[in-house]
Chains A and B, each alone.
Chain A
Amino acid sequence: MEKAKKTPLLHISRRMDVPRWEKIVIRVATFVGAFVLCALICSLFKWGTFFNFFQDLFGSLVSKSASKPLRSLINTLEEMALLLGISLALLPAFKMKFWNLGAEGQVLMGGFMAAMLSKFLPNSMPTALATVIMLVAAVAGGAVWSLLPAVFKAYFNTNETLFTLMMNYVAMGVITCFIRVWNPEHGTLDSLSTGMLPQIGGYSYVINIIVVTVLVFAMYGYLKYTKHGFELSVVGASRNTAIYAGINTWSVIIRTAVLSGALCGLVGWLIVAGADQSVSSGSAGGRGFTGVLIAWLGNFNPFYMALIAFFVAFVTRGSSSFATEFLGGNSSFPKITIALFFFAVLVGEFFLNYKVHINRKEKKQALAGKEAK
């Protein structure tokens, strides 16, 4: 015998039926672990700030001004709503295994269309009408931006991942170009002249939150209870099966991708009309990519995605205020904590799906066998 090979120490096997309580325990542990990890990083940057991080994290939900006690909470929810809206827009496309990475561009085009119309619509027009026109234009803008890759995918089977990704840069270029023409001194277009969304109860952003909340339920129902939702999940599972079942695959692909782009355009409208009141090439702020992660980590379940989106917004705002307080407003710091948060969620997913065994007994046996020789 040349050499007795040891059995591997770690043995990973797939878990099939995980009980519900264990799932909840693992997920809660994941989130707590993520916060602790972030806090540890904080102490690394500045010694002794371990608990300050938690203070800032939860403090970001509580408003300091007495007149508007919900201000901070609504700000967090608003950030969550935008992220969630984009990931919900991506959801039908992802369910169809159409990897739409162009949310950033679709959102931008939606927002740009809204802002551009606001610039050209006459001021005499009633605000409600202007709002509706802007909304329709935004939805159309987003839809067109995803229609192109979808048509190529359906007819020529091109790779939608690369196509949609490149469309982001085209969108940014288009917007930068128009800003140069219309407003050369600034990096953004002028503030909206009409079509802003009104405040509700003295708070802005409330409409954004309401729209996205409705969208969560609508998307859940669309995917689960409609023929469209059924068709797109069959097309996603296997195009052969779809053809066998008599589904017109190319029309499903185009329809779903356009829906995805249109909803991205809707979010773009929310950003411009409901929050920023203007548009620049950075209006989407990377949310189009964060939305992809949220959809994946939320297991393509709208409600779980909402939870993840909330935590992302929560961690972002918490660590921003920590950065302002301790790190001189370092804007890279929230990015680090978000990355850690995503990483922790991924690790949690691993333990939800796999079990790690340690082969102690066999190792001992192998050692005993060696000694015998």
Chain B
Amino acid sequence: MSEAILELKNVTKRFGSVTAVDHVDFTLNKGEIMAILGENGSGKTSLMNIVDGIYFPDEGKVYVNGKEAVIASPLDAFKYHIGMVHQHFKLVDTFSAIDNILLGEKSSFSFKESFKKYKDEYSNSKSGFRRVLAALLFGLKTVSLPFAFLGNALHLNPLRKNRGASIEKIAATYGFEINLNKKIKDMSVSERQTVEIIKALYKGADVLILDEPTAVLTPQEIRRLFKVLKEMKAGGKSIVIITHKLNEVEEISDRVAVMAKGKHIATVITKECDQMKLTEMMVGKKIELNIKRSEVKEPKLRLKVEDLDYVDHKGRHRLKHINFDLYGGEILGVAGIAGSGQKELLESIAGIRKRAVGSCLFYDDGNIVELMHKNPNIIRDMGVHLSFVPEDRLGMGLVGSLDLVDNVMLRSYSKGKGGLLQRKKPERLTEQIIKDFDVKTTSSHQQIGKLSGGNVQKILVGREIASSPRVLMTAYPVRGLDINTSYLIYNILDEQKTKGVGVMLVGEDLDVLLALCDRIIVMNSGHVAGIVDARTTTKEEIGLLMTKSEETPTMTEAEAK
């Protein structure tokens, strides 16, 4: 065994009554890639935030290279050569990559040394007139020392040449292909991640922690990232990768630490373990990892989207001439890099994006209704059974500060005559949802914001299904949920499909989309790059469609103007 570079002993962190990290021991050896595997909320990120100095542990000790370390801030972490790439990147959008990397660098200005330098210059000068001039210069420079200090502290040297040279060298060493002079806002997610990694390396990190690095990447980008990580490992760096995806653990890691509910379950050598066993450790019981996909029976046209176009209020062209059909009895997946227009597509159909133009026909057993240019309340009042589970649960689908019953009646409160609210029916429905989906809550009058993510989603999905929809649109329905709830949601979607509902599912995990959907729309910067058969296509094919670009980003910007 090689030596330990980072060691956590008996570390505990509590937030109020919640114990996020519960007496965890953790060892990272030099030159290895270690995966931390666990469900959402199992304490993986909290544990690594302790290492990075974002949280301070309530109990326990951290050791770096065998010596006790007190890490109270990310700055401290860098002193111990630990760098972390967070799930949400911490970059300044309007700065270039180089500026972001140099940002926060300590100035190394010393009065004494500068004074000495000036003095040497003076004493080395020739005699005569030049010496007088040198004396004058020496005096001036000495007097202006405080200003020089100020300028240095403020980094008043933006025009310094080759300031990015050392950064570019690091990038070249590990084979990063990136233009470091590009502004962050013009970069793709994968490029931003690369900048974060280079930043950590530039600051001298020997231990690199990556929090869910693959969540936002395409299959091709993931492969590239893993290649770089392996190269870094060969170069003697130690890497921790936080993930909840089993196949990635198997592909990249040497050892894997499994966490569940804040506790460290076990650390095993990856080669000696299989996916079944890892899942069992992670969830605490054996579960079936198969997603049920029923066959499509009697598909009926439900939704016909034609030439849907959407330009947002800032003039950005978000949806470009979208055409597709949705049939009852199928699950239509929507894949794409984050921000390719998936959200806008669903919201345009639901009537939330008023600027959307085009045609969207809703077929309801003989009735044909045009959904475009109508508010959600008009669509609802026309008797269109269209349900929508938005991506932003507590920011759009629900109101966190209201109780369960009020949230359940959010879409139907205006029914009934008079100005008073009718809470009887919603109360019964809430009780039903709580029972059907096994929602963990103290009562139906609990504030919904106080429930866990899985239970919040159960209420939202339960409400949307309760209105017996013809079309059910869901955006990232399992984001942030534990495995059991995720599979419950998959099953619900499949069940709705067998009932003849046309289901649209925007997802980020391609494995899931491939296993659950019948057809998949691949979106690429606002247009449909292709519609593929989920039963025959491959991840690689979808990945290519997601990233293949026929027009450069600059062109879309020009178009926006």
Q: Is B145 an interface residue (CB 8 A)?
A: no
Q: Is the CB of B420 within 8 A of A238?
A: no
Q: Is A234 an interface residue (CB 8 A)?
A: yes
> For this complex, into which size category does the number of interface residues on chain B fall?
35 or more
Interface 1/0s, chain B 49-69, versus A by CB < 8 A? 000000010000000000111
Interface 1/0s, chain A 212-234, versus B by CB < 8 A? 00000000000001111111011
B401 contacts which chain A residues (CB < 8 A)? 233, 237
Q: Is the CB of A237 within 8 A of B396?
A: no
A234 contacts which chain B residues (CB < 8 A)? 399, 402, 410
Stretch of A81-89, A144-152, A245-253, A335-343 that contacts chain B: A245-253
Q: Is the CB of B399 within 8 A of A228?
A: no
Q: Is B375 an interface residue (CB 8 A)?
A: yes
Interface 1/0s, chain B 399-440, versus A by CB < 8 A? 111100010001101100001110000000000000000000
Smallest CB gap from B18: residue in A: A16
Q: Is the CB of A240 within 8 A of B421?
A: no
Which of A240, A241, A247 has the most C-beta atoms of chain B within 10 angstroms of its own C-beta?
A: A241
Q: Is the CB of A245 within 8 A of B17?
A: no
Cβ-defined partner of B377 (8 Å) among A225, A233, A240, A248: A248
A14 contacts which chain B residues (CB < 8 A)? 16
Count of A-B residue pairs with CB < 8 Å:
81
Q: Is B221 an interface residue (CB 8 A)?
A: no
What is the CB-to-nearest-CB distance from A218 to chain B, in angstroms, rounded to a whole number?
13
Q: Is the CB of A1 within 8 A of B421?
A: no
Q: Is A21 an interface residue (CB 8 A)?
A: no
A226 contacts which chain B residues (CB < 8 A)? 419-421
A227 contacts which chain B residues (CB < 8 A)? 413-414, 419-421
A240 contacts which chain B residues (CB < 8 A)? 352, 392, 395-396
A238 contacts which chain B residues (CB < 8 A)? 395-396, 399
A247 contacts which chain B residues (CB < 8 A)? 377
Question: Within the assembled complex, what's the spacing in Å between the Cα atoms of A227 and B421?
Answer: 5
Q: Is A13 an interface residue (CB 8 A)?
A: yes
CB proximity to A under 8 Å, residues B373-398? 375-380, 388, 390, 392, 395-398
Q: Is the CB of B411 within 8 A of A246?
A: yes
Q: Is B306 an interface residue (CB 8 A)?
A: no
Q: Is B222 an interface residue (CB 8 A)?
A: no
Q: Is the CB of A244 within 8 A of B350?
A: yes
Q: Is the CB of A5 within 8 A of B70?
A: yes
Cβ-defined partner of B406 (8 Å) among A2, A13, A230: A230
Q: Is B15 an interface residue (CB 8 A)?
A: yes
Q: Is the CB of B399 within 8 A of A244?
A: no
Q: Is A125 an interface residue (CB 8 A)?
A: no
Smallest CB gap from A6: residue in B: B70
A233 contacts which chain B residues (CB < 8 A)? 399, 401-402
Q: Is B76 an interface residue (CB 8 A)?
A: yes
Q: Is B228 an interface residue (CB 8 A)?
A: no
Q: Is the CB of B410 within 8 A of A245?
A: yes
- A4-B70, A244-B352, A246-B375 in contact; A225/B402 too (CB < 8 A)? no
What is the CB-to-nearest-CB distance from B426 to chain A, in angstroms, rounded to a whole number?
11
- A14-B16, A246-B375 in contact; A241/B399 too (CB < 8 A)? yes
Question: Within the assembled complex, what's the spacing in Å between the Cα atoms of A5 and B62?
Answer: 13
A5 contacts which chain B residues (CB < 8 A)? 70, 72, 76
Q: Is the CB of B56 within 8 A of A244?
A: no
Interface 1/0s, chain B 1-36, versus A by CB < 8 A? 000000000000001110000000000000000000
A13 contacts which chain B residues (CB < 8 A)? 15-16
CB proximity to A under 8 Å, residues B53-98? 56, 67-70, 72, 76, 79
- A226-B419, A226-B420, A233-B399 in contact; A241/B17 too (CB < 8 A)? no
Question: Within the assembled complex, what's the spacing in Å between the Cα atoms of A234 and B56?
Answer: 37
CB proximity to B under 8 Å, residues A1-50? 1-2, 4-5, 7-8, 13-16
Question: Within the assembled complex, what's the spacing in Å between the Cα atoms of A243 and B378?
Answer: 11
A237 contacts which chain B residues (CB < 8 A)? 399-402
Question: Within the assembled complex, what's the spacing in Å between the Cα atoms of A180 and B397?
Answer: 55
Q: Is the CB of A243 within 8 A of B413?
A: no
Question: Within the assembled complex, what's the spacing in Å between the Cα atoms of A244 and B348?
Answer: 11
Q: Is the CB of A245 within 8 A of B56?
A: no
Q: Is the CB of B376 within 8 A of A245?
A: yes
Interface 1/0s, chain B 344-367, versus A by CB < 8 A? 000000101000000000000000
Smallest CB gap from A234: residue in B: B399
Question: Within the assembled complex, what's the spacing in Å between the Cα atoms of A114 and B324?
Answer: 63
- A237-B402, A244-B390 in contact; A1/B17 too (CB < 8 A)? no
A229 contacts which chain B residues (CB < 8 A)? 421
Question: Within the assembled complex, what's the spacing in Å between the Cα atoms of A13 and B17?
Answer: 10
B398 contacts which chain A residues (CB < 8 A)? 241
Smallest CB gap from A243: residue in B: B352
Question: Within the assembled complex, what's the spacing in Å between the Cα atoms of A237 and B401?
Answer: 7
Smallest CB gap from B354: residue in A: A243
CB proximity to B under 8 Å, residues A258-287? none
What is the CB-to-nearest-CB distance from A154 to chain B, in angstroms, rounded to a whole number?
15
Question: Within the assembled complex, what's the spacing in Å between the Cα atoms of A234 and B394?
Answer: 11
What is the CB-to-nearest-CB distance from A322 to chain B, in angstroms, rounded to a whole number?
42
- A226-B420, A227-B413, A233-B402 in contact; A244/B397 too (CB < 8 A)? yes
Which of A2, A16, A230, A240 has the most C-beta atoms of chain B within 10 angstroms of its own C-beta?
A: A230
- A16-B16, A237-B400, A237-B402 in contact; A244/B413 too (CB < 8 A)? no
Question: Within the assembled complex, what's the spacing in Å between the Cα atoms of A46 and B79?
Answer: 58
Q: Is the CB of B380 within 8 A of A225?
A: no
Q: Is the CB of A230 within 8 A of B421?
A: yes
Cβ-defined partner of A246 (8 Å) among B15, B70, B72, B414: B414
Question: Within the assembled complex, what's the spacing in Å between the Cα atoms of A247 and B377?
Answer: 7
A241 contacts which chain B residues (CB < 8 A)? 395-399, 410
Question: Within the assembled complex, what's the spacing in Å between the Cα atoms of A240 and B396?
Answer: 5
Question: Within the assembled complex, what's the spacing in Å between the Cα atoms of A226 and B423?
Answer: 10
B390 contacts which chain A residues (CB < 8 A)? 244
- A13-B16, A16-B16, A227-B414 in contact; A1/B419 too (CB < 8 A)? no
Q: Is the CB of B376 within 8 A of A246?
A: yes
Interface 1/0s, chain B 440-461, versus A by CB < 8 A? 0000000000100000000000
Q: Is the CB of B68 within 8 A of A244?
A: no
What is the CB-to-nearest-CB distance from A129 to chain B, in angstroms, rounded to a whole number?
29
Q: Is the CB of A246 within 8 A of B377?
A: yes
Question: Within the assembled complex, what's the spacing in Å between the Cα atoms of A229 and B423?
Answer: 14
What is the CB-to-nearest-CB distance from A15 to chain B, in angstroms, rounded to a whole number?
8
Question: Within the assembled complex, what's the spacing in Å between the Cα atoms of A146 and B399?
Answer: 27
Question: Within the assembled complex, what's the spacing in Å between the Cα atoms of A7 and B60?
Answer: 12
B16 contacts which chain A residues (CB < 8 A)? 13-16
What is the CB-to-nearest-CB distance from A12 to chain B, in angstroms, rounded to a whole number?
11
Question: Within the assembled complex, what's the spacing in Å between the Cα atoms of A150 and B200?
Answer: 49
Question: Within the assembled complex, what's the spacing in Å between the Cα atoms of A26 and B254?
Answer: 55
Q: Is the CB of B388 within 8 A of A1?
A: no
What is the CB-to-nearest-CB distance from B204 to chain A, in angstroms, rounded to a whole number?
16
| 12 A–B pairs (Cβ distance < 8 Å), ordered by A | A5-B76, A8-B56, A14-B16, A227-B420, A233-B399, A240-B352, A241-B396, A241-B410, A244-B388, A246-B375, A246-B376, A246-B414
Which residue numbers of A lie inside 8 Å of B, CB to CB?
1-2, 4-5, 7-8, 13-16, 225-231, 233-234, 237-238, 240-241, 243-248
* Interface contacts beyond A241-B399, A246-B376: sample of 17 additional A-B pairs, CB < 8 Å, sorted by A: A2-B79, A5-B70, A5-B72, A226-B419, A227-B419, A229-B421, A233-B402, A238-B395, A241-B398, A243-B375, A244-B352, A244-B376, A244-B388, A244-B396, A246-B379, A246-B414, A248-B375
The 6 closest A-B pairs by CB, nearest first: A246-B377, A246-B376, A237-B399, A5-B70, A240-B396, A245-B410
